[in-house]
Amino acid sequence: MAWFTCVKRKVAGLNALLCVGKRENSHFLRHLNRNVSVKTLGTLRTAQVSFINLNFPKQESYTAAHAMETKDAAVEEDSCDTDSTVRTNCGKRKNEETDEAAKRDSRKKHKKKCVKQLRPGERHVPPPQKRNTGVSFSREHFEETSYYFEGGLRKVYPYYFDFTTYCKGRWVGKTLLEVFKSEFRAESLDYYNKAVKEGRIKLNETPVDDLNLILKNNDFMRNTVHRHEPPVTGRPLEVLVDDGEVVVVDKPASLPVHPCGRYRHNTVIFILGKEKGLSGLHTVHRLDRLTSGVLLFARTLEVSKKLDAMVRERQLEKEYVCRVEGEFPEGEVVCEEPILVVSFRVGLCRVDPKGKESRTVFQRLSYNGHSSVVRCLPLTGRTHQIRVHLQFLGFPILNDPIYGSSAWGPNRAKGGLVGMSDEELLEALIEEHRSKESLHLLDLPDEEVSGKQLAKKEYSDGAQEHNDQINAPESSGVACDDNSCKLTQEEVKAEGSQELHKSTSAAETEGEINGDEASRTAKSNTFIRDNLCGECKIVRPDPMEKDLIMYLHALRYKGPDFEYSTQMPDWAKEDWLQD
């Protein structure tokens, strides 16, 4: 019969019991984290041994220990039942529980002692909160404001909105005044001073009372603005397919796919959520704001990953149709010129040997004596690929505000001949649209076209979040709730005979013309005016059709086991003539 000995040994201030046994000339080791009396297997005799130095061979018999595991467990259980004065709950000693509690208390006290003591006048910055990995929109976002239809356009009632961001590394050590002056130039410093007085600028959720406050790392900034959105076409957003896995829509021209820049509610994502009850969609691909046609969304993350894999492996076929200036050659035309991005800010590209490999196949469908309808098959997926290749061939798309611009020179970069640097080209393009008062067609940052620079700037930095609408500050003279926004009597009197109200009957009339969506979404029938908002003081003419459409349409989207398509647009008919 094997005899077992329990040895208590103190190592580096920790208690461990080493149970040593000998079985068929093999040694094995057991660790028990407590003082116990251990019975031998053969008798009830208790051996009490303390502080004995033992030298064990490095290679211990794991097999023997494993073989005895069942018996040891039985011994341990028996010991728990009979030696209750030493153990509690068969797993922890009373003195060990006391030690653990003491350690926890010690750690708490240590943390309290480690809290940094702020010097007089020093500002505490709370640690950053966990950020969302993506942007998701829900009913509370969709109800920030509502639509109304006027003159064939979809319009958004102005609303109050919070733009938020954490302090950038380049801002640390600078004052709020310096940051606003250097990076958010859309508004004057006078505006920001007034916004501070009205409590619209907050730092770490505390209203700022002095723009000379120095920014620190992890500072959380919140700017409340009165937001205006440009109008878009009033044509309905048609859902072609909704089978539980994908949602396919026929996107009208002028609508961005998702919130960006000055657009939020006038986007495909928000219209689907507000009018169709479709939310949580995953974007599979995108179309330019001025491009119309087939747009595909995935219902679930699993489907989204599957479609993304198809895109990477080039298993998806995309077919476009466009109308170009002049008589396009008959037969198949292939363009394989590499494309280089000149400006991410504008989305400006050009043909350049240093660019990425690109390939597009073109075929003329018709010619009406002035312009041609061309079928386009992009075999690669570069930014503005079809537009850049058609410009290179000398046949820019009609109404293309970038690649059809005269800023490229008399030949408009036909054959890749530009004759100026990228910086000069970008400046010439901006200047041309500035002179025509059409900078909005370039989707430039807000300092170029007026509006809230904080909004646009933070989108470009990738740090902008979408937060809930808040009520207007009391000092602004207006107040908003979920259902309507009304002017105070003082403002109504001050405006005199100006048209401040959109009547309910007018909204209902537009609803009869444009469909049920108009009457369902035109909940607010009052135009909000804000005393700090520069856009409220400007009367902008409604855009014309040529400002809302580029003659490029995504006709078909085809995969290994699916195909989605739309009807040919009216402007693709052979006898169509531009007004």
Helix (H, G, I), strand (E, B) or coil at 198: coil
**201 found inside a domain:** yes
The burial class, CB within 10 Å (0-12 / 13-18 / 19+), for 228 is buried
- Rounded distance between C-alpha atoms, residue 17 and residue 37, angstroms: 11
Could you give the C-alpha distances from 473 to 222, 487, 551, in angstroms and in order?
14, 13, 44
pLDDT on residue 332: 95
Residues 184 and 290 in one domain: no
Residue 279 is assigned to a structural domain of this protein: yes
Task: For residue 215, give Cα distances in angstroms to 120, 167, 225, 337, 459.
Answer: 17, 7, 21, 47, 20
CB 194, CB 248: distance < 8 Å: no
| Residue 317 CB contacts under 8 Å (≥ 6 apart), including other chains | 377, 556, 557, 558, 559
Range of the domain at 337: 236-438+550-572
Q: Are residues 223 and 242 in the same domain?
A: no
Q: Are residues 180 and 307 in the same domain?
A: no
One-letter amino acid of 522 = A
Question: Over the range 340-373, which residues count as b (16 or more CB within 10 Å of their CB) and which as e?
Answer: bbbbeebbbbbbbeebeebbbebebeebeeebbb
Alpha carbon distance 473, 520 (integer Å): 28
How much is the pLDDT for 363? 97
Domain assignment present for 444 = no
Q: Both 191 and 215 in a single domain?
A: yes
Please indicate, yes or no, whether residues 286 and 351 belong to a single structural domain of this protein: yes
Tell me how long the chain is. Answer: 579
> For residue 537, is it within any domain?
no
Q: Do 265 and 411 share a domain, yes or no?
A: yes
pLDDT given for residue 493 in this prediction: 30
Give per-residue pLDDT as tens, 351-363: 999 999 999 999 9
> In which region does residue 384 sit, left (phi positive, over 0), alpha (psi from -120 to 50) or beta (all else)?
left
Last residue of a domain, one of 227, 246, 280: 227
Do 297 and 193 reside in the same domain of the chain? no
CA nearest to 446, candidates 253, 225, 150, 208: 225
Angle, in degrees to the nearest 10, between helices 189-197 and 176-183: 140
- Closest residue by Cα to residue 187 from 494, 550, 522, 532: 532
* CATH number, domain containing residue 419: 3.30.2350.10
Looking at residue 213, which CATH number applies to its domain?
Answer: 3.10.290.10
Judge if 299 and 194 occupy the same domain.
no
Looking at residue 93, its pLDDT comes to 52
| pLDDT at residue 111, rounded to an integer | 52
According to the 3-state scheme, what is the secondary structure of 391-446?
HHHCCCECCCCCCCCHHHCCCCCHHHCCCCCHHHHHHHHHHHHHHCCCHHHHCCCH
Please report the pLDDT score of residue 9 as a whole number: 45
d(CA 468, CA 165): 14
* CB half-sphere exposure, 271, CA atoms < 13 A: 27
Q: Is residue 534 in a domain?
A: no
Query: What is the number of domains present in the chain?
Result: 2
Measured CA angle at 189 (ends 183, 191), to 5 deg: 110
Give the per-residue pLDDT at 311: 87
Q: Is residue 212 located within the same domain as residue 296? A: no
Instruction: Calculate the alpha carbon distances from 474 to 201, 221, 384, 477 in Å.
Output: 15, 21, 46, 6
Question: Residue 471: what are its φ and ψ, rounded to 5°?
Answer: -70, 150
Is 399 domain-assigned?
A: yes
In angstroms, the Cα distances linking 576 to 140, 294, 318, 370, 573 are 44, 22, 24, 10, 5
List of the chain residues with pLDDT < 70: 1-99, 101, 103-116, 118, 121, 130-135, 443-526, 579
Kindly provide the b/e burial profile for residues 430-455, where b requires at least 16 CB atoms within 10 angstroms of the residue's own CB: bebbeeeeebbbbbbbbbbbbbbbbb
| Domain identity same for 310 and 424 | yes
Give tens-digit pLDDT for 426-475.
Answer: 888 888 878 777 777 776 655 444 433 333 333 333 333 333 333 333 33
Q: Check if the beta carbon of residue 440 is closer than 8 Å to that of residue 456.
A: no
According to the model, what pLDDT value does residue 329 have?
96
Task: Decide: 281 and 299 in contact? Cβ < 8 Å.
Answer: yes
Do 220 and 280 have their domain in common? no
Q: Of 203, 227, 251, which residue sits at a domain end? A: 227
Alpha carbon separation from 555 to 147, 295, 376, 389, 487 (Å, rounded): 28, 10, 10, 18, 46
Is residue 470, in this structure, part of any structural domain at all? no
Q: Which among 209, 227, 245 is the end of a domain?
A: 227
**Selected catalytic residue, list 219, 250, 288, 443:** 288
Nearest to 438 by CA among 390, 391, 388, 402: 402
3 state SS of 145: coil
515 within some domain: no
pLDDT the model gives residue 526: 59
List beta partners, residue 9: 16
Is 443 a catalytic site residue?
no
The three-point CA angle 345-204-226 to 5° equals 55
> Do 175 and 286 reside in the same domain of the chain?
no
